[in-house]
Amino acid sequence: MQLRVALGQIAARVGDVDGNLDRVLRAWQRAADAGADLVVFTELTITGYPPEDLLLKREFVEANLAGLERLAAIGPAGTSAVVGYVGAGEGDATDTAHWDVALATRNLTNSAAVLRDGEIVASYDKLRLPNYGVFDEARYFSPRDRPCVADVAGVPVGVTICEDLWTESGPVQAAVAAGARVVASLNASPYHRGKRDDREAWARHHATRGRAHLLYTNLVGGQDEVVFDGDSMIVAPDGEVVARGAQFEEDLVLVDLPAQTSTPATTPPGATRPTLTAHTSPPRSDAVGEIWHALTRAIADYCRHNGFAEAIVGLSGGIDSAVTATLAADALGPDHLLTVAMPTPWSSQHSLADASVLAHNLGTLHHELPIAEPLAAASRQLSDLVVTGFEREDGRQPGTAYENLQARLRGVMLMTLSNERGSIVLTTGNKSEYAVGYSTLYGDMAGGFAPLKDVAKLLVYDLARWRNRRDEVIPASTIDKPPSAELRPDQFDQDSLPSYEVLDDIVAAYVEDDLGIDAIVARGHEEADVRRIVRLIDGAEFKRRQAPPGPKITERAFGRDRRVPITNGWRG
């Protein structure tokens, strides 16, 4: 016989229990209308992922349980659904004496239920609770070591959840050993570049080892510092990926699978169902394009879910603000983006022209608000305390304080516009700058969301070139000119930093790979450069703690992904 399955790749939103129930019911009904026997949803479908300390609120957990009962009661008949939810402590927790983490005292579980014809026919509680990177599941949940296999149209279907897949044997193979010929894997697996290969390798491993079909459904959408890419898949027992979901968009994937039944099929004699068109997997972006789509999805969801209809970006004429503005225009639409150029006395005419051309190309509302007058006023006020002029009788030259004053005045302008318009300011700093502290606290770091926070400088250029292949909106001169903050005469980034080829590799080695100084030097870098950059990275931690959130697109991002003490004496 054939088992008709569906992957319900939905954008479940954290805390939106009623909205998530509606999303499930709409997709479940579509699957039922298409004659599906089974539809598999995402990890913690009802609560969204990760719910974090909402789980400490009893009313939230109870609303999630009531939502599960509602789904079971009103879901369309004839089609089973596997839905993620928070369990409230039925049964005994698995012995965790071998674990090296402290488990939450509350007996909650990260669970999945099989719903069919008005009933909850089976449930599964996640065994492997990730507690690294952006994950804190051992803070909230208790594990269970009980495989779950449910009968769906006569086919034994196992149920597992996300991290259960990322191990040589474990829960997936336990489900197979318990008789499963199809294994449903509910996931909330955050995106980072290159992750698809790892996911697919584990899915192929379990499908071929267990000689079972694996149904991998992943969440889609932005959630604070993480973005979920969907990219769900069905893997056959021979390891072939026979169907894929869309990237960064909701999708319902429908496929007929050959499946050997363990019990007689429950389809009534003579019953028919719609003919299913052969599945065609959607096109997939290249390596740089998927990062662009991850960032635009993150911006769109962060703004929409937090009540911002408009974003504001300060345009300097440089590459970072150009890419940030273009991302925002793609994410929100140009009618929902305000761009502002705020030239100082040291801003070049070509930078002003580049900012104007970009705004015109994008079709944004654009203003030019020079800060020369407020800068002069602040300089006069501070003249006895801070060196603020380049033509002084004593010959002293302005330093970082004067440069940062300009950045902070820009921040004041943008945040005032934000207050007036109810808009969100998107900051423009990239990962290279955040790493070494070359971004101004309360200046260009002032804002609500930082789209490039996990994007190294060289990758910013790659993103600009990728986007211009669609239509050339970012001026070529913005891409080609040497990067400069333009906060003093004849200033360039490389006056005080190594080349970005050197800097980005050291940052990646120290931040993403956790290598020490000797190991980074062994990659071919000068020891003096390495020690200086490492010192800058460590010294800027207090600034990063005050930075706005930004989407994770690498294996190790600043923020909740990397938790380094601000105050510490380690130097290497």
Residues tagged active-site:
43, 126, 162
Dihedral of CA 497/500/505/507: which sign? positive
Helix (H, G, I), strand (E, B) or coil at 237: coil
- Give me the helix-helix angle, 287-305 and 457-470, nearest 10°: 90
Other CB atoms within 10 A of residue 103 CB:
18
Cα(238)–Cα(205) distance, integer angstroms: 10
531 Rama sector, left if φ>0, alpha if ψ -120 to 50, beta otherwise? alpha
Q: For the purposes of burial, counting CB atoms within 10 Å of the CB of 48, is it exposed (0-12), middle (13-18) or buried (19 or more)?
A: buried
Helix (H, G, I), strand (E, B) or coil at 14: coil
Pairing type for strands 119-125 and 109-116 reads: antiparallel
CB 240 within 8 A of CB 11: no
CA dihedral 164, 166, 167, 170 (to 10 degrees): 10
Other CB atoms within 10 A of residue 483 CB:
19
- The separation between CA 261 and the C-alpha centre of its own chain, rounded to angstroms, equals 39
Pairing type for strands 311-315 and 424-425 reads: parallel
* 159 DSSP 8-state letter: E
Cα(300)–Cα(249) distance, integer angstroms: 12
Task: Please give the full DSSP string across 253-288, using - where no structure is assigned.
Answer: EEEEEE---SS---SPTT---PPPPPP-PPP---HH
